[in-house]
Structure 1
Amino acid sequence: MLSDEELLRYSRQILLQHIDIDGQLRLKASRVLIVGLGGLGSPVALYLAAAGVGELHLADFDSVDLTNLQRQVVHDSHSVGRPKVDSAMTRLAALNPEVRLVAHRQALDADSLAAAVAAVDLVLDCCDNFSTREAVNAACVAARKPLVSGAAIRLEGQLSVFDPRQAHSPCYHCLYGHGVEAELTCSEAGVVGPLVGLVGSLQALEALKLLAGFGEPMVGRLLLIDALGTRFRELKVRRDPACAVCGGVS
């Protein structure tokens, strides 16, 4: 049940007929893994905690650096040098003490990643490197857990949802294959702060839709964001029957 304080805290989204009390209860009962607490993970964690998602599992092995603060808004100047997980937990606990927080401060290997994914209902990929994205995708396919994937670099962003519970859904590997040889990071190519805020906010929205059961999640669709011209383009993405990750999964 929802307490009187929770009814008041979440009253504005409970007013939405698409969420209502039942949707809010589903959010409260949900467990979510956020992989990466940087530019994307910051708005994701803040908005999911504010919305009343019951349990947030926070995964990041890095520490806060001064260069992060231009875009990683869950951290502040007092957090420099602290593990990102600890910094984020402090901020999220202050924002909503009703949310349970689970820390993953070490890099997730194959076994620990599989266990972390199995322990939740949904995963958000907020990391900044292809190898981790591939590993997270494979773990989600194996555990049949929905994955909300976002990316941003320079002035371009992307967003999609992969849901192995749905027969028609592609996975991350269907779309990107083995990636590219020369993968740039934000520290090498740069990124504008509001862009990662936009992509992360959209990731949080997709997660709420999946968890509360409303709207049309972006399964089988890829959103491309051009921040320079403020243009949005959507592409259809099909499942690859020969995909090395999900091709044999029914």
Structure 2
Amino acid sequence: MCRVVDLRQAVLAKNDASALQLREHLAARGTAEVNLLSSPGSGKTALLELLLARFVAAGTSVAAVTADLATENDARRLARAGAPVKQVLTDGLCHLEAGMLRGHLDGWLPEDTRVLFVENVGNLVCPASYDIGESLRIVLGSVTEGEDKPLKYPTAFGLAHLVVITKTDIAEAVEFDSEAFHRNVQQVNPGVPVLETSARTGSGVDELLAFILGCADGVPVHQPVLAGQHERYLHHHHDDEEGHDGHEHPASAVRGAADAP
């Protein structure tokens, strides 16, 4: 008798186990991991550079890992903030996995790190299905990407603890409909907080810093939509998720993340 094995579930289950171990390891040392997800060109690196500089200026021990398919451009840019930064090249892989990240942290991450930022690969499909041991998952969308982004990528936005709108200084110029974006976010992830920011003007950055520090201090954050609920939504919007790779059922993505320090 032939036995059918769902390889996707096996891969995700292995990753979940590694993520749990990493989350427990970081929690024991007092480090909060912040997973940043977005499409390419969202302004994620510019905002992260500003956040790192603010944390360094405030005397908060912070570090960052940035992942790309190729080049070390982002790491060189982020290092200007004065925080420890490490580049991870995925060699074509469209996402980070927990075991991969743990391997890069061992022997590198300073012991006193309070906040570890992980700038995931620029992609809202693959990375959304993988728990990488984060305490906080932030999904970013720029005003140039359109108001329907949350509906096109319900897995990414639906499993976020926080949604951040970037480049708001040019919102009027691109005729961005903020109210529509907020409605669409709430449709896929009811109750999730949404912050509007601009790396150019600094607008909203203090509020974002406070939210991240609250997570690092163990303040409970918004619980993302559970996988079972998400599956029902995805069933109706499957065709809208561009570049869909088959991981529409992240069975335990960021499971327990809201309870981590």
TM (norm. structure 1) is 0.41
TM (norm. structure 2) is 0.39
